[in-house]
Amino acid sequence: MTLAQAGCGFGVYHHGMTTATLTPSPVVPLRQDATVIGLVGLAHASSHFAHLLLPPLFPVFIAEFGLSYSQLGLLMSTFFVVSGVGQACAGFVVDRLGARSLLFVALGIFMVACIGASMVHSYAGLLAVAALAGLGNATFHPVDFTILNQRVSAPRLGYAFSAHGLTGNLGWAAAPVFLAGVSALSNWRTAYLAAALMYVAVFALLYSKRAQLKTEVAVHPADAPVEHSMAFMKLPVVWWCFGFFLLSTMTLAVVQAFSVSLLKALHGVSFEAATLTLTAYMLCGALGMLVGGFVAAKSVHSDRVVAACMSAGAVLLAVCATGLPGAEGTMVLLAITGFAVGIGGPSRDMMIKRATPKGATGRVYGMVYSGLDIGFAISPVLFGAFMDRGWYAATLGGAALVLLLSVVAALGVGRRTSAAAARA
């Protein structure tokens, strides 16, 4: 069998993969599942907060250090290149050593990155902070999904994925408000020190509940044939999943890195209003994730749900690119775009789960989600060049185009998953 069946824990799998057995998790009380989901969600929110550790203060860095949009884009590319390479490697470590220890190491790295950000005095310092934060971010997806798949009972996995995506969006939504808010009350350096204290609090809470985050590693029977740990990479569906994440994330990177600047350039929107629009996008995305959890739990065609949601988001961004909605209309449409894309989030995670060989969750999620990091790495540099040339409408139009291309990738994942299930 090549595909993971909906459920938690892992059993034996074949088709070019090493036989491995982990103890499946039984159905457990709601309170126990909810605790695990909440703890993993908090960890996920903290990683998404780190995604926006620098972008909300880009206007400050332009004034303070005289940076261009291309240089700012390179900061994000540095973060996500480090994260992407680290994430692909972290999946193997998670499968062999477990998820919990890597989670605590990552939170410690975030603390150091925030302290470093409060002390920088040059562009080189910002690059170092971006690289360090990217290293911390590298472990989260293989860690999170390994814990959820092992610790949450099967009937609640769709809702677990919904909560996971929702908390990630809340982390994104919190970062601009937190950093801009503390900066307004004091200064931007104090904002980063406050962020470091936040990570200390998250670490302390998760460590106190560490028993709920323990995972098992694969146990290989002595008489089982041992194949190379990279064998899963021979499956085409893994690369279609990778392509989907790369393309869909390129659009999100445009919104995160440049929406504030785009609204100011195209419509003369104030910095405060533009920042609130970015926060609204993330909050609407979180609401969409909540709704999408119920959709994912009922749908047997996750790829079609994802394709429909991404298509709607692409259309809305294309309308924004025309400039016809005006300032207020564009801000509203961007928020609605977040809701549309958010609905597809839990179905996206179910789509990946169904395409994942059993016993290889960490490796596959690490590889597939590294597409997310690469998308985040490519997009700011590419569209930062657009921004430097004043191609603001083209930046939004390009974001709509790559989101539409992700629809093709999602449908490709669905076709290959269905074909493999039919052969099993």
Q: What is the DSSP string of 194-213?
A: HHHHHHHHHHHHHHHTGGGG
Rg (alpha carbons) of the chain, rounded to whole number: 21
**Average pLDDT for the chain:** 83
Estimate to the nearest angstrom the gap between the alpha carbon of 258 and the chain centroid: 18
Q: In this predicted structure, which of 43-47, 76-80, 146-150, 352-356 has the lowest mean pLDDT?
A: 352-356
Q: Are 307 and 411 contacting, i.e. CB atoms less than 8 angstroms apart? A: yes
| Domain assignment of residue 177, given as a range | 30-219+232-423
Checking if the pLDDT of 362 tops 90, the result is no
The mean pLDDT value for 223-228 works out to 50
Q: Whole-angstrom Cα distance, residue 122 to residue 232?
A: 43
Q: Which DSSP state fits 17?
A: S
Mean pLDDT within 165-181:
86
Question: What's the chain's length in residues?
Answer: 424
| Share above pLDDT 70 across residues of the chain, in percent, rounded to a whole number | 86
Q: For residue 25, name the pLDDT band (cuts at 50, 70, 90).
A: very low
- In the predicted structure, residue 192 carries a pLDDT above the cut 90: yes
CATH code for the domain of 36: 1.20.1250.20
Domain count, the chain: 1
What number is the average pLDDT over the span 374-397? 89
Backbone φ/ψ region at 343: left (φ over 0), alpha (ψ -120 to 50), beta: alpha
Please determine, for residue 174, whether its predicted confidence score (pLDDT) is greater than 50.
yes
Tokens matching residue 144: 């999170």
- As to burial, measured by CB atoms within 10 angstroms (0-12 exposed, 13-18 middle, 19+ buried), residue 63 is exposed
Least confident of 33-37, 162-166, 313-317, 333-337: 162-166
Q: Kindly provide the b/e burial profile for residues 252-275, where b requires at least 16 CB atoms within 10 angstroms of the residue's own CB.
A: bbbbbbbbbbbbbbbbebeeebbb
Determine the Cα–Cα distance for residues 78 and 82; give it in Å rounded to an integer: 6
Give me 187's structure tokens. Answer: 């200064």
117, pLDDT greater than 50: yes
Rounded mean pLDDT of 415-421?
A: 73
Instruction: Flag whether 182 is in a domain.
Output: yes
Tokens standing for residue 232: 């899963």
Round to whole Å and give the CA distance between 13 and 218: 12
Q: Identify the band that residue 119 occupies on the pLDDT scale cut at 50, 70 and 90.
A: very high
Residue 68 has pLDDT above 90, yes or no: no
Q: ∠239-244-248 over CA atoms, to 5°?
A: 150
Torsion sign, CA atoms 298, 336, 239, 79: negative
Maximum pairwise Cα distance, the chain: 68
Q: What is the model's pLDDT at position 14?
A: 34
Predicted pLDDT of residue 314: 96
Q: Is residue 28's pLDDT more than 80? A: no
Most confident of 154-158, 271-275, 347-351, 383-387: 383-387
pLDDT at 12 exceeding the cut of 50: no
Assess if residue 292 is contained within a domain.
yes
Closest CA to 296 of 153, 160, 145: 160
Higher pLDDT, 369 or 253: 253
Q: Is residue 145 part of a domain?
A: yes
- H/E run at residue 293: helix 271-298
Residue 5 lies in a domain: no
Q: Which two tokens stand for residue 299?
A: 């749908």
Look at residue 107 in the predicted model and tell me its pLDDT. Answer: 96
Residue 402 lies in a domain: yes
Rounded distance between C-alpha atoms, residue 138 and residue 173, angstroms: 20
Res. 229: pLDDT tops 60: no
**Nearest partner of 160 among 36, 286, 23, 32, judged by Cα:** 36
Query: Residue 208 carries which side chain, given as an amino acid letter?
Result: S
Give tens-digit pLDDT for 393-411.
999 999 999 999 999 988 8
Residue 226 forms part of a structural domain = no
Per the domain annotation, does 19 fall within a domain? Answer: no
Q: Does the residue 17 lie in any domain? A: no
Q: How confident is the model at residue 333 (pLDDT cuts 50, 70, 90)?
A: very high
